Amino acid sequence: MFEDKNHRTELNSLGEFGLIRHLQGLIENKNPSTVKGIGDDAAVIDRSDHYEVLTNDLLIEGVHFDLSYTPLKHLGYKAAMVNISDVFAMNAHPSQITVGLAVSNRFSLEAIEELYGGILLACERFGVDLVGGDTSSTPSGMVISISAIGRVEKDKVVYRSTAQVHDLICVSGNLGAAYIGLQILNREKQIFLENPSVQPDLEGSDYVIERQLKPEARGDIIQALHSADILPTSMIDISDGLASELLHLCAASDKGCRIYEDKIPIDPLTVLKCEDFNINPTISALSGGEDYELLFTISQSDFEKAKAIPSISIIGHITEASAGSALIDKSDHETPIRAQGWDSMKDN
């Protein structure tokens, strides 16, 4: 990569995932304990009698969050939850996090205490310890980088890459709400900027706004699957939208899929609020992102057991790769699934 000094490749020609794939090509793991490196929700490390999983997420003010409508306590909670969600996506249990924080002098001690209040609340939810981090200053704004580790029995780890043809595709909870919550917050911010005397109109939108500001990692689903004696055949968490994550899972497993529009779980309030913005709720679910639900596949023999778990929806099945990935819409038309989720390096 250092040979042709005159050649310049623009990052937006690769996009975020293209860049990660490129970096992956430059890296060769040397330690036998590195079971899984780049390419899943978390890395997997062999600790003799169990596996440890390790993941990191970066949140940048102005890119991932807007402090004009995000309370610092919520921001801290979300920053920890998105990491914990990646640990659950490996079927592991989170145990420790570290917190890297860069702030400008725009923030007070009380503000940082609020942020940590949120981080610690998320930790408490799942019995996680905050064991370290790093602190630095920035010329402006705030950057939060959290790493999480977790633990899983060796025969229980679940990757993105192991879905099998005919497996059933499942999602937890409902999708698309966090995106529409963000649209409402952005709309009210614009109205406020134009006329600061107008009070924000958030009436009746609590649920979707909460989904945006206070996501909950689905440790309860991991527990419910375990209790029902179901080991998913593959799994990923939904941070960038169902479409993008399905394509990641299918690409990693070298498979295709069929999902059914009428099976995608969408909360009635999401449907209602989508109307205000003229957004098709299915598009919000497919491309909105930030739901932090789990997308996983199960073997057909686990169908009855999965059906008995509330808040799990079966939305389709895995096919051979040659069949591609498609959505069957409500009028029975098949459309290829495309990722229009969050890609921070492409012009969205």
Q: Which residues bind ligand ADP (CB under 6 A)?
A: 20, 23, 38-41, 57, 86, 239
Q: Does 291 bind Mg ion (CB under 5 A)?
A: no
Element (DSSP H or E) covering residue 320: strand 312-320
The residue number whose beta carbon is nearest to ligand ADP equals 41
Quick one: residue 48, left, alpha or beta (phi over 0 = left, psi -120 to 50 = alpha)?
left
Which DSSP letter does residue 321 get?
G
CB of 40 to ligand ADP, least distance (A): 5
Question: What is the rounded distance in angstroms from the CA atom of residue 185 to the CA atom of residue 67?
Answer: 11
Q: Which stretch binds Mg ion (CB under 5 A): 36-44, 67-75, 137-145, 170-178?
A: 36-44
- The residue from 40, 52, 57, 86 that contacts Mg ion (CB under 5 A) is 86
293 makes contact with Mg ion (CB under 5 A): no
CA distance 118 to 77: 4
Distances (CA, A) of 264 to 115, 172, 340: 34, 10, 17
Q: Does 240 bind Mg ion (CB under 5 A)?
A: no
CA-nearest of 90, 309, 317, 346 to 217 is 90
Of 57 and 61, the one with the shorter C-beta distance to ligand ADP is: 57
Pick from Mg ion, ligand ADP, none: which does 57 bind, CB < 5 to 8 A by kind?
Answer: ligand ADP
Spatial distance between the Cα atoms of 236 and 297, rounded to a whole number of angstroms: 10
What is the nearest approach in angstroms of Mg ion to the Cβ of residue 194?
A: 37
Residues numbered 298 to 337 that lie near Mg ion (CB under 5 A) are none
CB of 12 vs ligand ADP, minimal distance in Å: 16
Given the rule CB under 5 A, which residues bind Mg ion? 41, 86, 237
